[in-house]
Structure 1
């Protein structure tokens, strides 16, 4: 019996003390395609992060998807689809420009037909107004096609939180992920706790990724408010994201662990919520 007890102690001592559930990264910019993917995944091995899968987009930095650039957008979407076909960890994220009207809707249908589950639009870098009816048309069509709409919510564009809330209310059959949970305007989203009390108003179709902002909030003077907000919007609605290459996934995971959430809450944010939303295996 003593030998078995000693063996158990040895095994416990050699097991990783930081062992945690695997991670899904919602927010990865692969600006150089397969080379960027290889570099990103190698970094996670070096940083000892158990990367299960990640949402990858081809645009960002010098590569933008502006109005009228239909050929470039289609080519970029094709590249990320091809990368995902060759790499089971990649959840491809496509884009369109809402102001391209019918052409944007046609591209949505095309990429959805090739298995793309996520559309990313970015009002700041793509230079469009969230309140424009063409944005609503794209969001509603994405929902009809079974696509989740990921959009920037870093507080860079004035009133983006209010406009995004109204967009989600007007497209109740579309699932949304709002990146960065409002940035330093994260307090706004506590309104969801009240929206749930108004019958027939909120369709529970809003999710958030906490890329970038979680690194800023960990150990911040307003950290408790941030955690309070996460719980008010619903831990089941929170996804992890790094915003690579701007920030590292290891630093993001470390920041999440310092928020003082329960192990069950962090496990949902690291993997479980994304697994449910995207049907990950």
Structure 2
């Protein structure tokens, strides 16, 4: 009996030491399988447990064949690793961008990444609106950079989401150090018919800056205002490690249930559940 009690106690210690699972939605796959292996090696060395991770590519304007090839590479890698392919198009590639969206949806891809600064487009451009609208019709979630590198970033993305209510967006970095803007959401939700529940965020990078800073309390207030159910954890590898983001999240004083949702629950609901398509 004493031995059994001791073994039970030891097993409890082992379970307590187990890493908390994370769905990392923000991993840049710059160099194909090499990037995937480097990411997984870093995660293992840091003692992190990843249930899934989002492998990101960003299309270059005019390089349609390269875009298709890189998207296919992500799809292939997702069959060998616990990765979901977050593919890409360039909104200024016209019909080629729409054709690629159709192809990606047929392949079972569930998300794309767009980045106004890196891809050099204006988020307020009608071509961006058209691509995002079509992505939503095809059941694709749109990740869009929201680090406020470009002027008017928050306002443009907010209006883009209002104009495409069927499309679910993950605005990455939660506005970075301009996160205050997003406290408009609780008020916007009270305006009848103004918006759908289609705005979500990852907190990649920004959570690392906010934890233990003079902004921490306001950042946590913002997280709760935009809705814990709308927040996802991302590393922004290779720029930052998953451990940095996960450790920073732990220091914010959130409840265990809030952290569970941000670490993996919200991402699984948003990115692993097939979204309905409204048009063939």
TM range (shorter): over 0.9
Q: Is contact 1:236–1:269 with CA below 8 Å preserved after alignment? A: yes
Residue of structure 1 in register with 2:69 after alignment:
75
Q: Work out which of the residue numbers 78, 102, 109 in structure 2 matches 1:84.
A: 78
**CA displacement 1:167-219 (0-9 Å, x = unmatched):** 00000000000000001000100100101111111101000000011111110
Q: Work out which of the residue numbers 149, 161, 164 in structure 2 matches 1:168.
A: 161
Q: Work out which of the residue numbers 189, 199, 203 in structure 2 matches 1:196.
A: 189
Give 1:20 deviation, angstroms.
Answer: 4.9
Determine helix, strand or coil for the equivalent of 1:106.
helix
Which structure 2 residues correspond to residues 47-196 of structure 1 after superposition, within 5 A? Answer: 47-59=46-58, 65-87=59-81, 89-196=82-189
**Distance in 2 of aligned mates of 1:72 and 1:145:** 22
1:271 aligns with 2:267: no
Quick check: 19-28 or 130-139, which moved more?
A: 19-28
**Distance in 2 of aligned mates of 1:260 and 1:157:** 31
Structure 1 moving runs of 4+ over 6 Å: none
Give 1:151 deviation, angstroms.
Answer: 0.5
**Distance in 1 of aligned mates of 2:272 and 2:60:** 30
TM-score after normalising by structure 2? 0.94
In structure 2, relative to structure 1, the CA distance for the partners of 1:280 and 1:169 (3 Å cut) is: closer
**CA displacement 1:22-80 (0-9 Å, x = unmatched):** 10001001111111111211221111111000000134xxxxx3321111111111111
Give 1:4 deviation, angstroms.
Answer: 4.6
Determine helix, strand or coil for the equivalent of 2:79.
helix
Residue of structure 2 in register with 1:9 after alignment:
9
Determine helix, strand or coil for the equivalent of 1:203.
coil
Give 1:280 deviation, angstroms.
Answer: 6.2
Equivalent pairs counted in the alignment come to 274
**Distance in 2 of aligned mates of 1:50 and 1:40:** 12
Which structure 2 residues correspond to residues 241-280 of structure 1 after superposition, within 5 A? Answer: 241-279=234-272
Give 1:3 deviation, angstroms.
Answer: 5.0
**Distance in 1 of aligned mates of 2:60 and 2:11:** 55
Unmatched tracts of structure 2, length 5 or more: 275-280
**CA displacement 1:137-191 (0-9 Å, x = unmatched):** 0000000000000010001011010000000000000000000000100010010
**Distance in 1 of aligned mates of 2:26 and 2:10:** 39
**Distance in 2 of aligned mates of 1:12 and 1:136:** 52
